[in-house]
Amino acid sequence: MTVELRYFTDPACPRSWGSEPKLRRLLWEFDGELRVRFVMAGLAREYGPSYRDPQSGIGVRGDPLFDLMAHWLDVCAEAEMPCDPRVWHDGHISSTYPACQAAKAAQEQGPESAHRYLRRLREGILVEGKKLDHFAALVGEAAAAGLDTQRFENDLASHAITEAFGADLDETRTVAAETPDEMAKSGNSRERPRLPGAVFIGQDGERLGLWGWQPYEAYRDAARAAGANRPNEGPLDPLAAVERYGRIATKEAEVLAGRPRPIVEAELWALARDWKLRPVPVLTGVLWEKP
């Protein structure tokens, strides 16, 4: 039975980036059973000296940009995902809203295109330090995600996409108002619950929500409780994972393979030795892709 999954996120959210291994495993194990819709929660309308997020310790020590850099490092270290937070040192993004609108424009080309483009934004911002907060830069990432670039550019410039993002913000506020206080981000009142958020909706309309850091088992159990079956219960080996997704982090290879990290890491380097994979060094880790 197909279950709807509404995934609340933001392209520049480090906790969403840290949860990518779990999301990819979820979509692998429940392949064809989940109808995914990404809801852009709008992490920050504007980054600057007045930005505050006490829940994440941002702005409480003085310079919010320094705190954002430290926050990214802390979150990604806990998640064991690579990142490069030096974007906050020079030429930082001014807002996440343009990237959110771009993610909505990508959805016009289907769920798979939406997921590929959202992943491209995550890697661009959190790993490659790109300033993806303006029209030209966001259009420039469309081809790498396999999108129809001209259609994407037209959609991104349309009022319909602005309205679609506005609807996502409204939905996020509605969900936040219905979410228990302990799950709301104290720095943003009732505007947004903790990210990432996942709401599983079964055919009977029952909604099962998960917010913030969650173990993979919580996502799996919620999907099953909503009525989804698991067509792929076995592991996805590192080489097959790269062929499926194009690029993976070491942690993603570990989670998808279901084997201890030292074993999976040795497999990845052996594949690199045989020229079957290419390592892409990042400040705090490695990504893997086809040569």
Task: Please give the pLDDT value at position 182.
Answer: 60
Q: How far apart are CA 290 and CA 288, in angstroms?
A: 7
Q: Does the pLDDT at position 190 exceed 80? A: no
**Mean pLDDT rounded to a whole number for the chain:** 93
Residue 170: half-sphere exposure toward Cβ, Cα within 13 Å = 6
Give Rg (Cα) of the chain: 18
- pLDDT tens string 112-165: 999 999 999 999 999 999 999 999 999 999 999 999 999 999 999 999 999 999
pLDDT grade, residue 187 (50/70/90)? very low
CA dihedral (221, 248, 252, 25) in degrees, to 10, reads 20
pLDDT in tens, 253-265: 999 999 999 999 9
What is the sign of the dihedral through the CA atoms of 274, 276, 277 and 278? positive
Residue 234 is encoded by which pair of tokens?
Answer: 């076995």
**Which ranges of 123-274 would DSSP assign to H, the alpha helix?**
135-140, 149-156, 159-178, 216-225, 238-245, 250-257, 261-273
pLDDT for 184 equals 55
Query: How many percent of the chain have pLDDT more than 90?
Result: 82
Residues 12-51: pLDDT tens digits? 999 999 999 999 999 999 999 999 999 999 999 999 888 8
Average pLDDT over residues 75-99: 94
Give yes or no for residue 188 having a pLDDT over 70: no
pLDDT band at 219 (very low <50, low <70, confident <90, very high): very high
Query: What is residue 63's predicted lDDT score, i.e. its pLDDT?
Result: 87
Q: What is the structure's pLDDT at 56? A: 79
Identical fold, 3-225 and 238-289: no
- The pLDDT score that the predictor gives to residue 213 is 92
Domain 238-289 sits in CATH at 1.10.10.10
* Global pTM value: 0.95
Mean pLDDT of 76-95: 93
Task: Give yes or no for residue 186 having a pLDDT over 50.
Answer: no
pLDDT at 189 over 60: no
Q: For domain 3-225, give the CATH number.
A: 3.40.30.10
Nearest to 103 by CA among 152, 136, 146, 140: 152
Evaluate whether 7 touches 210 at the Cβ level (below 8 Å).
no
- For the chain, domain boundaries: 3-225, 238-289
